[in-house]
């Protein structure tokens, strides 16, 4: 069964495309930066912290996989939440995600990519960031198939860079560097595991593309099954090398490039920086442009945003107006705010990602009750017990991360201002919803 909200888009994405999107969205700058932060909190036990971080994320992905398999649709994050749980909660979540993406995620990805490129080439930050954003904007305008092919090629290089790091690093591991294993006790280990969850989320974005995926009921859960274990195994190998090559005090709080420089030659190091550090961010940015417009399409289809924004380019089959909106506002944010606000970009982007996800958990609980036929016939289905467990764990994790992010936001001098503006933005969204009211609050099937 599928929702009728497909916006005239064609089903062009096969399993390899969807797996590439999931991997590219998951492997971002986090593994290159947060591994060192994890070592700072817990020392050589960072590898075990990755495993612990994977447990709650696994429950979250199980919930998302079930929804995507039972009711595959374009704009899944918004559609599931609005039809099955709370229309106003779904809209406010997407409304908050919109601000967090335009003023947080997209500037963050573009500027971070420029920083990694500067490790091998002397280029200016802001013009390079806007240049990369422009390139990927054009790629996504030309069609999701083209963007997905480019994503696949970049993901191959990205995976190869991480494999090279692991293979070249293993011979240089010194067992003595794993002592002491826990450097800051249970508290430090728990903090490390909480932070490292950020490196493992992202694959959930593929439910936004349900209307463009071939055989989505089967493809979506399979994509999770392939991409998440592959990413986790690579992360564990990377963590072992990062913790074992140098003493933990030398890598605490430092990016992976510090470890890589200790055993890589110039050629392999430059490849690691370009294909690993740079492409990890570029693939996340590209994947975000592919799926980031879809929930906005759902909102517009319900009459909560201008209908014109949902128009699809007849030649390329892409939401050109939404893509242009994202591009223009994000480029303006980079120009006006520059690279000095990079940390705030990161926090705001993460907060938006959590807020938009919360109503989705409520939707999963309601699926068996409101769409029993779709639930029973789903190619991938959780039992009622495991569904409740998965949602409960996911909710606790999401709220914990949200608290950590809010505390971190207030630690910045301008963080309080950003926080107040963001809260006001959410209130405006709620008022807009009550004024407009959605046209559709139930699934239609075909």
Q: What span, in angstroms and rounded, lies between the C-alpha atoms of 210 and 11?
A: 9
pLDDT in tens, 89-137: 999 988 888 888 887 778 887 887 887 778 778 889 899 999 989 988 8
Spacing of C-alpha 83 from chain mean position: 23
pLDDT in tens, 260-274: 999 999 999 989 988
Q: What is the DSSP string of 154-177?
A: HHHHHHHHHHHHHHHHGGG--GGG
Could you give all domains of the chain from N- to C-terminal order, each with its CATH number? 15-436 (1.20.1740.10)
Residues of the chain with pLDDT > 90, as a percent, come to: 31
Of the candidate ranges 4-13, 206-215, 315-324, 342-351, the one whose mean pLDDT is the lowest: 4-13
**Of 282, 269, 271, 275, residue with least CA distance to 113:** 282
Q: What span, in angstroms and rounded, lies between the C-alpha atoms of 1 and 9?
A: 17
**pTM of the full predicted structure?**
0.79
Segment 208-234 shows an average pLDDT of 90
Q: What span, in angstroms and rounded, lies between the C-alpha atoms of 220 and 216?
A: 5
- The radius of gyration of the chain's CA atoms, rounded to the nearest angstrom, is 21
CB 418 within 8 A of CB 344: yes
CB 348 within 8 A of CB 143: no
Beta-strand runs (E) in 200-274: none
């Amino acid at each position: 069964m599928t929702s009728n909200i497909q916006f005239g888009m064609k089903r062009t994405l096969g399993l390899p495309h969807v797996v590439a999107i999931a991997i590219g969205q998951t492997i971002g700058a986090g593994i290159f930066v947060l591994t060192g932060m994890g070592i700072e909190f817990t020392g050589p036990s960072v590898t075990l912290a990755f495993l612990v971080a994977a447990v709650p994320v696994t429950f979250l992905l199980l919930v998302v996989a079930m929804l995507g398999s039972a009711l595959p649709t374009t704009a899944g994050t918004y559609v599931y939440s609005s039809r099955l749980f709370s229309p106003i909660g779904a809209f406010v979540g997407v409304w908050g995600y919109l601000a967090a993406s335009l003023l947080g995620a997209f500037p963050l990805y573009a500027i971070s990519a420029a920083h990694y490129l500067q490790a091998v080439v002397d280029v200016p930050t802001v013009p390079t960031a806007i240049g990369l954003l422009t390139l990927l904007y054009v790629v996504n305008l030309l069609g999701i198939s083209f963007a997905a092919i480019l994503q696949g090629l970049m993901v191959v290089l990205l995976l190869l860079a991480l494999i090279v790091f692991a293979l070249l690093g293993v011979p240089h591991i010194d067992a003595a560097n794993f002592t002491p294993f826990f450097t800051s006790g249970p508290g430090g280990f728990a903090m490390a595991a909480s932070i490292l969850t950020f490196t493992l989320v992202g694959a959930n974005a593929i439910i936004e593309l349900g209307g463009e995926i071939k055989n989505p009921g089967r493809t979506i859960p399979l994509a999770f099954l392939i991409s998440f274990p592959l990413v986790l195994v690579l992360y564990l190998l990377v963590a072992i090398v990062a913790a074992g090559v140098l003493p933990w005090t030398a890598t605490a709080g430092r990016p992976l490039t510090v470890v890589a420089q200790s055993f890589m030659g110039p050629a392999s190091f430059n490849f690691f920086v370009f294909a690993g550090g740079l492409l990890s961010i570029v693939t996340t940015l590209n994947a975000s442009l592919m799926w980031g417009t879809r929930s906005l399409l759902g909102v517009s289809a319900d009459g909560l945003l201008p209908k014109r924004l949902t128009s699809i380019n007849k030649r390329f089959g892409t939401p050109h107006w939404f893509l242009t909106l994202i591009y223009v506002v994000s480029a303006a944010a980079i120009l006006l705010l520059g690279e000095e606000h990079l940390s705030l970009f990161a926090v705001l982007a993460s907060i938006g990602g959590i807020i938009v996800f919360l109503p989705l958990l409520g939707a999963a609980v309601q699926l068996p009750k409101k769409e029993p036929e779709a639930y029973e016939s789903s190619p991938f289905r959780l039992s009622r017990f495991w569904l409740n467990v998965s949602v409960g764990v996911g909710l606790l994790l999401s709220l914990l991360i949200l608290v950590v992010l809010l505390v971190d936001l207030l630690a910045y001098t301008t963080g309080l201002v950003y926080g107040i503006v963001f809260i006001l933005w959410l209130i405006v969204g709620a008022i807009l919803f009550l004024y407009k009211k959605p046209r559709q609050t139930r699934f239609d099937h075909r």
